[in-house]
């Protein structure tokens, strides 16, 4: 699994610097990906980014050392699953202000038994060449992150 610069920096108490992208051109994504940011946030909530354009952007950013995050249009479990299946390394879910909304976003991103995300052998599963172990490694890291965090988001869950 790729190094998640954002988790590493925040875990050490350092800030993570990034850029929000709404331009869907893969060349622009490659140039921005080579700029050395800690993270890049592809904003599908405020930008006209279709799912096929998102896939092209994620492919263009695969060679970048930046952690690639995606903001979905809404807290929608179908869209969150698609985004993660395409290879996004994390999501920033908009308009989460209640405990139930937070729990729904977490369930959409996790595999059973903690979540509802299905195993769809799309792009993300091929990136590591070992689908089951990649799935279990990601799930284990999500659980570890939840245990280590001590702060809570606005909804009161350890997000």
Q: Write the pLDDT tens digit of every residue in 7-39.
A: 999 999 999 999 999 999 999 999 999 999 999
Q: Can you give the pLDDT at residue 142?
A: 53
Q: In 3-state terms, the chain is what percent helix, strand and coil (to 5)?
A: 45, 10, 45
Tens digits of residue pLDDT in 88-136: 999 999 999 999 999 999 999 999 999 999 877 666 555 654 444 555 5
Q: What is the dihedral sign for C-alpha 35, 40, 46, 50?
A: positive
23 exposed, middle or buried (CB, 10 Å; 0-12, 13-18, 19+)? middle
Distances (CA, A) of 121 to 69, 70, 73, 80: 20, 19, 23, 15
The whole-angstrom separation of Cα 103 and Cα 23 is 31
DSSP 8-state secondary structure symbol assigned to residue 122: S
Q: Which of 46, 77, 136, 152 is catalytic?
A: 46
pTM metric for this prediction: 0.77
Residue 32 to residues 39, 96, 99, Cα–Cα distance (Å): 10, 28, 35
- Other CB atoms within 10 Å distance of the CB of residue 118: 9
Q: What pLDDT was estimated at residue 130?
A: 44
* Residue 77: active-site member: no
Query: In whole angstroms, what separates CA 88 from the centre of its chain?
Result: 5
Domains of the chain: residue spans and CATH: 5-148 (3.20.20.60)
- Residue-wise pLDDT for 56-97, tens only, equals 999 999 999 999 999 999 999 999 999 999 999 999 999 999
């Amino acid at each position: 699994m790729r190094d998640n610069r954002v988790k590493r920096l925040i875990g050490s108490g350092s800030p993570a610097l990034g850029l929000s992208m709404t331009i869907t051109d893969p060349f622009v994504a490659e140039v921005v990906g080579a700029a050395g940011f800690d993270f890049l946030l592809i904003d599908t909530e405020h930008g006209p980014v279709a799912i096929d354009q998102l896939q092209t952007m994620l492919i263009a950013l695969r060679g970048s050392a930046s952690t690639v995050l995606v903001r979905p249009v809404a807290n929608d479990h179908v869209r969150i699953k698609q985004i993660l299946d395409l290879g996004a390394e994390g999501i920033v879910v908009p308009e989460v202000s209640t405990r139930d909304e937070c729990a729904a976003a977490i369930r959409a991103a996790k595999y059973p038994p903690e979540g509802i995300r299905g195993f769809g052998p799309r792009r993300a599963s091929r990136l590591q060449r070992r689908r089951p172990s990649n799935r279990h490694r990601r799930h284990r890291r999500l659980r570890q992150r939840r245990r280590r965090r001590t702060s809570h988001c606005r909804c009161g869950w350890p997000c």
